[in-house]
Amino acid sequence: MGRKGRHRDAEFVELLVSIGVAELANWAQASEPKRQRAVRLLAHEVCVLCGRSVVYGFKGLSDMALLPDCRDRRLWPASRHADDLYNLTMAVIEFGQERLMADLQMPELTAEQTARQIAWRLLESFEGTNLYVPADAEYERRERDSRMVRLLAEDGPRGAKRYSYARMNEVARQFGISIAHLYVIVRCVRSLEQRHSTEGRTE
């Protein structure tokens, strides 16, 4: 497939973030860093759901995001490519509304209207071209790292005790990394968990 009109990897995230930040510029109830963080989390959530897909931007369909009944799939064209566009639109609207309400304390109706505006501007930005939505590599890496730590907390299938050198060797070999690399991952995951726990108590 050609590169024309195709936003690659991090470029999709930056595209959605720039659109979202622009739409939230006048939301004075939250600081600029907080608005950026909310939209960046939205972008990653969209990548988790729609990642590794190439979405075609049908001309004239961007306004669908603004229609009150846009969730009705029957109103969209009947094709696989339209399915991809519909799924992307719904992901931005649904995740966007939830994220704006939870992170920016935005009222439900305002959050939905803002999420629709973000989706509309995104669809409008690639009308007539292809948009590549990447998998969220950061999310996948965090999931993998957390899984390693969980496996270390269990005895191995061949009798290796949890957290033992033998168990670390088994887990490292299972994921194709060195034991030294695994040590670093364990430290990072535990540090991140502790930081999140501390932030949760101070909020």
- Co-location of 71 and 15 in the same domain: yes
* 45 in a structural domain: yes
Residue ending a domain, among 103, 133, 163, is 133
- Residue 127's DSSP bridge partners are 57
Query: In terms of C-beta density within 10 A (0-12 exposed, 13-18 middle, 19 or more buried), how is residue 201 classed?
Result: exposed
Instruction: Give the pTM.
Output: 0.69
* 192 in a structural domain: yes
Domain that holds residue 181: 137-202
Residue ending a domain, among 133, 150, 168, is 133
- Co-location of 181 and 152 in the same domain: yes
- Co-location of 123 and 147 in the same domain: no
* 141 in a structural domain: yes
Residue ending a domain, among 76, 98, 133, is 133
Please tell me the distance from the alpha carbon of residue 138 to that of residue 144, in angstroms, as a whole number: 10
Query: In terms of C-beta density within 10 A (0-12 exposed, 13-18 middle, 19 or more buried), how is residue 130 classed?
Result: middle
* 3 in a structural domain: no
- Co-location of 153 and 104 in the same domain: no
Other CB atoms closer than 10 Å to residue 52's CB: what's the count?
10
Domain count, the chain: 2
* 164 in a structural domain: yes
What is the residue-level pLDDT of the chain in tens, covering all 203 positions?
Answer: 334 444 455 688 889 999 999 999 999 999 999 999 899 889 988 988 888 889 999 999 999 999 999 999 999 999 988 999 999 999 999 999 999 999 999 999 999 999 999 999 999 999 999 999 988 777 677 778 888 999 999 999 999 999 999 999 999 999 988 888 888 888 777 766 665 555 555 55
